[in-house]
Amino acid sequence: MPNCTPDCVQSLILQPEREQRLLLCRCSRSANLPYCDGSHSPPTTGLADKWRRFFSGR
């Protein structure tokens, strides 16, 4: 509850089990919209290269 005090019995504690990053498509070429599948970039061979192209600014 948004207005719950710290001792409120109805309060929720959210603890994510893992961090996950989602890449959203902005070029509309993805086959998995709204998520980016890298369709805008040239093909790559390895997983590291696939992630690198998202963050290198290519």
**Across the 58 residues of the chain, what is the mean pLDDT of every consecutive 10-residue run?**
73 80 85 85 74 63
Burial bucket for residue 11 (CB in 10 Å: 0-12, 13-18, 19+): exposed
Residue that has been written with the tokens 């070029």 in this structure: 27
- With a CB cutoff of 8 Å and minimum separation 6, the contacts of 30 are 36, 37, 38, 39
pLDDT at position 34 is: 92
The answer to whether 20 touches 32, Cβ cutoff 8 Å, is no
pLDDT at position 58 is: 46
**pTM of model > 0.75:** no
Residue 57: both structure tokens together: 């600014």
Domain boundaries, the chain: 22-57
Phi, then psi, of 10 in degrees rounded to 5: -95, 5
